[in-house]
Chains A and B, each alone.
Chain A
C-alpha cells in the first residue's frame, strides 16, 4: 500500500531555477515529514523536515510547504545548482512502539543543468 505518493519521477531544471517536488499522504496520523537527499552510491541524508503544526519551513535555499487539509507537502529548491543534482525522497512517519516509522515516497531524480 503506497501511503506516500511522490511526483514527478524525474525533473530537469536549469541552473538558477526553482525545483519543486510534491508529495501526498493518506494517513492523517502522520506527524513528521522529512525530505532526504541521496547521491549515487551514498545513503540518504536528512535535508529538512517539518511537523504539521507549521505551514512552511525554510533552511537556506530549501523550503518545505505543508498543506494539512490537502494532505500534501512539497520541497522547493531555490536557485538550483548542479550540485543539487541527486535523488530526493519525501517521507512521513508517526510514532509507533517508541520510534518514528518512516514511510518513503518513490523518489525524484533531479538534474540541474549548468
Chain B
C-alpha cells in the first residue's frame, strides 16, 4: 500500500516568507509526527498528533512554527517568517497506534535564502 507522502519534495523560499509543508499519513494510522533533520544532525522531534487529542507541541523550536491535522488525517506544518536556520529536511512519520513502529515519509527539503 501507499506509504507516507509529503509535499513539496523541495521548497526554496526567501527569508521572512511563510511556508506550508504537507504530510499525508498512511491510511488508518492514528499517530502522526513531525521531525526536523538538519545537516549533520540527527532527527529532532517537533510535534505529535494522536487522533483528536491535543497535540504534543513540546519540540517546536519557536512560536513561528505551528502544525495542524485536519480530520485526523492530513497534516500541515507552517513556518512563519522563515529564517536561514530553518533550512533543513522536514520529515513526517505515522504509526498505527502510539508506541508502534513509525513509518517515515521522504521529507521536504526546505532552503531559506
Contacts and interface: CB of A to CB of B under 8 A. Distances in A.
Size band of the B side of the interface?
A: 20 to 34
A23 B99 CA distance: 21
A100 B100 CA distance: 8
Contacts of B44: 104
Contacts of A104: 42-44
B102 interface: yes
Interface string B5-40: 000000000000000000000000001000000001
Interface of A is mostly: strand
A101 B45 contact: yes
Given A43-B107, A46-B102, A106 B42 contact: yes
Interface of A: 4, 6, 41-46, 89, 91, 95-107
